[in-house]
Amino acid sequence: MKVNEIVYQQLFKTSQEAIILVDANTGVILDVNSSVYLFFGYQNYELTEKVVWEVRLFQNILESKDSFFNISKLNLPFNLELPIPTKNRKIVLVEVIVNKLSINQENILTFTFRDIYKQKKTENDLNKSEESWHSLTMNSPNHILILDLHGKVRFINWVTSGLKKEDIVNNSIYNIIPSQFVERVKESLKDVRKTKKAKIYETKFVFPDDKVVWYDARIAPIIEYDEIMGYTVNCSDITKRKNTEIELNKSNKKLHELTLHMQEVIENEKKKIALDLHDDLGQKLTALHMDLSWLKTRIIKDLPHLSDKLNDMAELLNLSMKNVQEIATELRPSILDNLGLISAVEWLLEEYMRKSNIEYQFDVSPEGIKINKQLTVAIFRIIQEALTNVVRHANATIVKVSIEKESNLLNVMIEDNGKGITKSNIEGSKSFGLMGIKERASVFKGKVKITGELNKGTKLLVKIPYD
């Protein structure tokens, strides 16, 4: 036996494909390999020495005896994809390869059967997946693009008015987007390629018809065998949301400006009332007190029985003068306008300590810090409201207040050792004092953070931009 015949015999026996050898002159099956049993359930003895056109295995390949002999006239090899019945009548989808060879000077037809079920299933699944992807992308409200590693557009699902697909596909993304965004997109693609992670950002696109559209763009890598082959870009139209945000920001800005104006009006009105109380009512009460003292010295000798009554009147007058002074100070302490925030806070702490016996610690950094008038009033009122809450609710014995300039921020902290505020009280709809603190801070683009720990105290931290 020749070497090539020996090799063929070895391949025939060990092949995982089912192979049937047929005498080309008679149609008699000469041999089958072991894979025929695995494929179709037939043992060697059940097929050998039978003519192929009488074997059910070949019923879909050969229609008749004549069709077998016509095979030799065909251009060999050729292949077919056919459903083949097994011994137990199960249908197996196979690829049949028919070829002709010569062994020991005998003409032999080889029928090689290859199981293509998994291959066909994979192809069908892939086709369905592609159809689903195509349907998803073409019906998506978002713009979906595929870019190569150089930023060239290889696919776009649809284009908006004013643009044409042919102007985008095979064109560089850098030629399509507005020039001010080119560097940003380049950096984003570079970052995605480096990290192999998606990146999301907002961008504004101005179309040829001057229509402005805001997009939420998500750039994700296309990875094959751990290598980036390109990028997918998913652009969601967020113009309505963005316009709403812009209008909301404008509205909030106007609201903050109105709030600041109203606070200034209220503070000026308080200041005016305090001055009127001090200058007008205070002076009149002082004059009345002087007249009462004069009257007392004149009639005490002639009408001694009125002495007690005059003393009561003088005491009531003194008390009224004191109350007027306290009301005027609470409305607008003159020390705030005359000596500034730091002195006013020190006075405020002294007053609260005198009234509640709560000890205090006050730190300022750096010393001599200068704060504009509007912010001075806001911070004073924030500290005043915070101290009022400490006295009313905290059951504290010590309160620490600090004003610290840190870079371009002004940090104001009020901390006590009381029972600790609860989360429900922080977020409560009736926490008007805290709402007032937050509103005063927000006018100056400040942030308020309030934390509490049970039986350990409450900390209120206000951070306000400082120029």
Q: What are the tens digits of pLDDT across the range 385-402?
A: 898 888 888 889 999 999
Residue 134 is assigned to a structural domain of this protein: no
User: Are 16 and 106 within one domain?
Assistant: yes
Contact of 457 with 280, CB cutoff 8 Å: no
- CA-based nearest residue to 329, from 301, 315, 350, 299: 350
What is the rounded CA–CA span in Å between residue 464 and residue 467? 10
- Of 189, 205, 237, which marks where a domain is finished? 237
226 phi/psi in degrees, rounded to 5: 65, 15
Token digits for 49? Answer: 């020495």
Q: In what order do the strands lie in the sheet with 359-365?
A: 359-365, 398-406, 409-416, 457-465, 447-453
- Of 304, 330, 356, which marks where a domain is finished? 330
pLDDT attached to residue 279: 59
Structural element, H or E, at residue 443:
helix 432-443
Residue 215 CB-density burial (10 A; 0-12 exposed, 13-18 middle, 19+ buried):
buried
User: Are 278 and 396 within one domain?
Assistant: no
What is the rounded CA–CA span in Å between residue 428 and residue 371? 32
User: Are 272 and 313 within one domain?
Assistant: yes
What is the rounded CA–CA span in Å between residue 321 and residue 138? 82
Mean pLDDT by 10 residues, the chain (467 residues): 60 85 90 90 91 86 83 83 88 89 82 87 82 78 88 86 80 84 87 90 76 86 89 89 86 75 67 63 71 72 72 79 67 72 87 86 86 84 88 90 89 92 80 82 88 91 87
**Residue 153: left if φ>0, alpha if ψ -120 to 50, beta else—which one?**
beta
What is the rounded CA–CA span in Å between residue 208 and residue 203? 16
Residue 133 is assigned to a structural domain of this protein: no
User: Are 87 and 198 within one domain?
Assistant: no
What is the rounded CA–CA span in Å between residue 402 and residue 379? 11
What is the rounded CA–CA span in Å between residue 217 and residue 235? 4
How many structural domains comprise the chain? 4
**Omega before residue 366 within 30° of 0, cis:** yes
Q: Please state the pTM of the whole predicted model.
A: 0.47
CATH number for the domain including 434?
A: 3.30.565.10
Strand, coil or helix: what is 73?
Answer: coil
Structural domain of residue 189, as residue ranges? 140-237
User: Are 344 and 458 within one domain?
Assistant: yes
User: Are 315 and 348 within one domain?
Assistant: no
207: which DSSP letter? -
Token digits for 397? Answer: 């014995």
Residue 126 is assigned to a structural domain of this protein: no
CATH number for the domain including 153?
A: 3.30.450.20
Distance between alpha carbon 401 and the CA centroid of its chain, in Å? 36
User: Are 233 and 254 within one domain?
Assistant: no
Residue 448 is assigned to a structural domain of this protein: yes
Residue 128 is assigned to a structural domain of this protein: no
User: Are 40 and 113 within one domain?
Assistant: yes
Residue 277 is assigned to a structural domain of this protein: yes
Contacts of the segment 341-345: beta carbons below 8 A, 24+ positions apart: 341/371, 341/376, 341/379, 341/380, 341/403, 342/369, 342/403, 344/380, 345/380, 345/383, 345/401, 345/403
Residue 440 is assigned to a structural domain of this protein: yes
Residue 436 is assigned to a structural domain of this protein: yes
User: Are 21 and 105 within one domain?
Assistant: yes
pLDDT attached to residue 413: 93
pLDDT attached to residue 415: 93
User: Are 249 and 364 within one domain?
Assistant: no
What is the rounded CA–CA span in Å between residue 387 and residue 398? 11
Gyration radius of the chain over CA positions = 47
Contact of 230 with 222, CB cutoff 8 Å: yes
In DSSP terms, 22 is beta-bridged to: 29, 109
What is the rounded CA–CA span in Å between residue 120 and residue 110? 24
In DSSP terms, 97 is beta-bridged to: 79, 112
Strand, coil or helix: what is 18?
Answer: strand
User: Are 178 and 299 within one domain?
Assistant: no
User: Are 216 and 229 within one domain?
Assistant: yes
pLDDT attached to residue 221: 92
- Of 210, 237, 264, which marks where a domain is finished? 237
Taking 3-state DSSP, the helix, strand and coil percentages for the chain, each rounded to the nearest 5, stand at 50, 25, 25
**Which runs of E-coded beta strand occur in 24-135?**
29-32, 78-85, 91-103, 106-115
